[in-house]
């Protein structure tokens, strides 16, 4: 990765001629959003400046406009300088959209609105986030194998599968601890759960790093991206982070709950308190913070699936902050965009699932099947129609729908009795496969 060029120091302008610089700044003010975007110097320097201004003067004027709106944070970089952020218009607009879409009631129509369907979608989203968050940090297992492992209840066999399995357990655990305040113990416990049996030294699971030889590099080309703060400062820095995250609406200055959650994510990545698993811990704690503050819909989103499509942009959001005087607005804007894209993907997914479910129910109009097939069986048949090679077990069906073993077993046996699944044995367990002519079997039994 090519590192972004750091901006020219603002003090350089004032050191040359303070009175002239002040007069110039007032006479030729520039908006904080050149071209309507929160551009970093590395981007702005490639654009044509306003008439009469050099690139440096343009940047300094933009920077002064941002400083006038900046809000300082009780969080510091490794040199002791305070981080800050600017409530620029794109930040405010994104926060409003996220408040509207993720803390209220999502509009789910028809059969998608049932609690049972929401449970199924929740399981699917936890699996998706567990897989992609782990893949961001090097887990090489394919999605299909990993999903079969989690749904089927199989124990992990490889290091990559173990990373995904741990991530899944940790994401489920977040629901149980979402009301607890953030403490150093909660952070280390969650890290221990995420990295169990995946580290070279098992003692490093849940333990703050003991040295300063941990650096952040680009996995693609080995480029050094970031040197985190000294390990001796980690307890103090994490305690300060906990105090910030545990703050509330009464704090002055006020910090929006979503901003707090994103900055928790940012600081865990910046401080890099563990020898490995920092990214997974940061993203898991983001989910914890959002859940604690009432943004329940985030449980149904996978931010890592969005991040995985453009990991370079994720890293660049950190680098833009670090190279521009600790201005975290770059990271906020990146993550706000990721959340909004994840919400949009969820809405598209739910709309499609709603259409599929209605279509399936339309095909299951016979009195016999309507009386015998429940919503779980309809969902399975809908999946089976699109995945002819799918294999279903009692454990996978139970995990997908959050029901008891007995209920899952009864669902599958009934579908086999209806001749809509094939039943066989693999060792001591029953497995259910999809008949090649499932569509024809359904057509014979249903009226359209």
Confidence band, pLDDT 50/70/90 cuts, at residue 107: very low
Spatial contact of 335 and 314, defined as CB atoms under 8 Å apart: no
307 and 431 share a domain?
A: no
Separation of alpha carbons 280 and 166, rounded Å: 10
For residues 43 and 129, state if they share a domain. no
CATH assignment at residue 295: 1.10.3290.10
99 domain residue, yes or no: no
Residue 89, in any domain of the structure: no
Reported as a pLDDT band with limits 50, 70 and 90, residue 429 is confident
329 and 206 together in one domain:
yes
d(CA 161, CA 204): 19
In this prediction, residue 301 has a pLDDT band, given cuts at 50, 70 and 90, of confident
- Which two three-digit tokens encode residue 68? 């006038």
Task: Compute the average pLDDT of residues 409-428.
Answer: 91
Residue 223 lies in a domain: yes
Same domain as 338, residue 368 = no
Identify which has the larger pLDDT, 110 or 370: 370
Query: Between 3 and 139, where is the model more confident?
Result: 3
Quote the pTM value: 0.81
Verify that 153 and 293 share a domain, yes or no: yes
Domain for residue 98, yes or no? no
User: Is 332 in the same domain as 379?
Assistant: no
420 within domain boundaries: yes
Could you report the per-residue pLDDT of 23-49, keeping only the tens digit for each? 655 656 788 899 999 999 999 999 999
Same domain, 406 and 437: yes
Q: Which of 314, 348, 382 is the last residue of a domain?
A: 348
Q: What is the pLDDT of residue 190?
A: 97
The answer to the question of residue 306 being in a domain is: yes
pLDDT of residue 250: 81
End-to-end CA distance of the chain: 56
319/236 same-domain check: yes
Query: Are 389 and 321 part of one and the same domain?
Result: no
380 neighbors 392 (Cβ within 8 angstroms): yes
Task: State the total domains in the chain.
Answer: 3
Indicate the pLDDT class of residue 411, thresholds 50, 70 and 90.
very high
> Quick check: 108 pLDDT over 80?
no
**Residue 110 has what pLDDT?**
45
User: What is the model's pLDDT at position 112?
Assistant: 45
Contacts of 379 (CB under 8 A, 6+ apart): 117, 120, 357, 401
- Examine the fold and report which residue of 348, 372, 391 is the final residue of a domain before the chain moves on: 348
Q: What is the mean pLDDT of the chain?
A: 87
The 10s digit of each residue's pLDDT in 343-396 is 888 888 777 777 766 776 676 656 566 677 888 998 898 888 878 788 999 999
95-109, 275-289, 356-370, range with the lowest pLDDT: 356-370
- Of 401, 384, 261, 400, nearest in space to 331 by CA: 261
SS3 64: helix
Contacts of 165 (CB under 8 A, 6+ apart): 130, 149, 150, 155, 156
Query: How many other C-beta atoms lie within 10 A of the C-beta of residue 164?
Result: 26
Where is the domain boundary, 296, 321, 348? 348
393: phi then psi, degrees, rounded to nearest 5: -125, 165
Looking at the structure, tell me whether residues 389 and 301 fall in a common domain. Answer: no
Strand stretches in 309-441, DSSP E: 391-393, 422-426, 429-433
CATH number of the domain bearing residue 376: 1.10.10.10
Whether residue 268 is found in the same domain as residue 120 = yes
Contact 113, 143 (CB under 8 A): no
pLDDT at 364 (0 to 100): 63
Domain that holds residue 294: 110-348
Q: How far apart are CA 187 and CA 207, in angstroms?
A: 10
* Domain assignment present for 161: yes
Beta partners for 430?
Answer: 425
Q: Over 60: is that where the pLDDT of 431 sits? A: yes
* In the block, residue with structure tokens 């920092």: 278
- Tell me: do 117 and 52 sit in the same domain: no
Rounded to whole angstroms, the Cα distance separating 362 from 109 reads: 16
The yes-or-no verdict on residue 202 having pLDDT over 90 is yes
Instruction: Give CA–CA dist 133/175, Å, rounded.
Output: 18
Q: Does the residue 222 lie in any domain?
A: yes
């Amino acid at each position: 990765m090519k590192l972004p060029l750091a901006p020219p120091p603002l003090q350089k302008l004032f050191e040359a001629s303070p009175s002239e610089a002040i007069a110039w700044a007032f006479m030729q003010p520039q908006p904080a959003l050149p071209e309507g975007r929160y551009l970093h110097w590395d981007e702005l320097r490639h654009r044509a400046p306003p008439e009469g201004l050099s690139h440096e003067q343009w940047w300094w004027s933009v920077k002064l406009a941002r400083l006038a709106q900046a809000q300082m944070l009780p969080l510091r970089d490794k040199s002791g300088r305070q981080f800050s952020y600017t409530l620029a218009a794109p930040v405010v607009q994104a926060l409003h959209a996220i408040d509207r879409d993720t803390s209220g009631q999502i509009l789910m129509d028809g059969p998608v609105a049932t609690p049972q369907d929401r449970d199924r979608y929740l399981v699917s989203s936890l699996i998706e986030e567990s897989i992609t968050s782990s893949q961001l940090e090097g887990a090489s297992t394919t999605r299909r194998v990993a999903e079969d492992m989690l749904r089927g209840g199989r124990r992990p066999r490889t290091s990559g599968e173990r990373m995904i399995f741990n991530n899944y357990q940790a994401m489920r655990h977040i629901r149980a601890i979402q009301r607890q305040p953030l403490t150093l113990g909660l952070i280390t416990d969650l890290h221990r759960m995420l990295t169990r049996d995946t580290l070279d030294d098992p003692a490093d699971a849940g333990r703050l790093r003991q040295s300063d030889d941990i650096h952040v590099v680009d996995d693609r080309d080995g480029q050094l991206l970031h040197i985190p703060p000294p390990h001796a400062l980690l307890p103090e820095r994490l305690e300060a982070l906990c105090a910030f995250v545990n703050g509330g609406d009464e704090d002055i200055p006020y910090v929006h709950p979503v901003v707090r959650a994103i900055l928790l994510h940012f600081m865990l990545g910046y401080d890099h308190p563990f020898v490995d698993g920092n990214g997974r811990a940061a993203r898991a704690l983001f989910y914890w913070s959002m859940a604690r503050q009432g943004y329940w819909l985030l449980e149904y989103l996978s931010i890592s699936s969005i991040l995985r499509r453009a990991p370079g942009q994720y890293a660049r959001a950190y680098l833009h902050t670090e190279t521009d005087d600790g201005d975290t607005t770059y990271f906020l804007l990146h993550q706000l965009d990721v959340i909004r894209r994840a919400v949009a993907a969820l809405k598209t997914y739910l709309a499609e699932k709603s259409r599929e479910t209605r279509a399936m129910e339309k095909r299951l109009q016979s009195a016999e099947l309507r009386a015998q097939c429940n919503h779980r069986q309809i969902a399975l048949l809908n999946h089976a129609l699109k995945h002819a090679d799918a294999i279903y077990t009692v454990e996978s069906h139970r995990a997908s729908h959050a029901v008891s073993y007995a209920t899952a077993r009864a669902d599958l046996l009934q579908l086999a009795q209806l001749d809509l699944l094939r039943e066989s044995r693999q060792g001591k367990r029953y497995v259910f496969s999809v008949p090649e002519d499932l569509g024809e079997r359904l057509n014979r039994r249903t009226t359209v």
